[in-house]
Amino acid sequence: MQIGGAAMSAIAGARAYRRQMNNLRKQERENQNWYDRRYNENATERADSVALNEQAKQHFAERMAQHQGTAAVMGGTNAQLAAEKNAEAVGYAGMQAQRQQMADRRKDTIENSFLANKSNIQNKMLEMEAQRAQNIQQAASQMAQAGSDMMKLPK
């Protein structure tokens, strides 16, 4: 009777182990797919980045129109207008560099999140393997004890 109980317990434990490992492997695949999709997307083509770029272009175009209007009314020189245009171009280039830095930080965040999730899943798998080894040892011990008890029964 004890041997049968120990065997049934071992079978149920093995089934539970397989289900849990399959779930963890599924999480692992989903995490990898998420990482591949998010890390490799072009941050400059995202809607928020495109909108920011369009706002910056519009802002710089409006400022340039203001400079040209002021130069026309006040009698500014072409050199002054060229200097203003150069300053606007430098400002726009700086904004583009910031967009790239934001994209780099975003990739770093995605990578860190992916690695944390991956580590968490791997740690769960290692814990399950350790628990499985302990369960096997315990089942073997129970079966040995049950066998020993059977040998002691009167015949």
Given a cut of 70, is residue 3 above it in pLDDT? no
pLDDT value of residue 67:
81
Name which of 29-33, 64-68, 108-112, 123-127 the model is least confident about.
64-68
- From residue 124, how far is each of 34, 87, 95, 131 by CA, in Å? 20, 56, 44, 10
Domain segments of the chain as ranges: 2-152
pTM: 0.67
pLDDT tens figures, 26-67: 999 999 999 999 998 888 788 888 888 888 889 888 888 888
Average of per-residue pLDDT across 126-135: 90
**CB burial readout 25-49, b (16+ within 10 A) else e:** eeebeebeeebeebeeeebeeeeeb
Cβ atoms of residues 71 and 81 within 8 Å:
yes
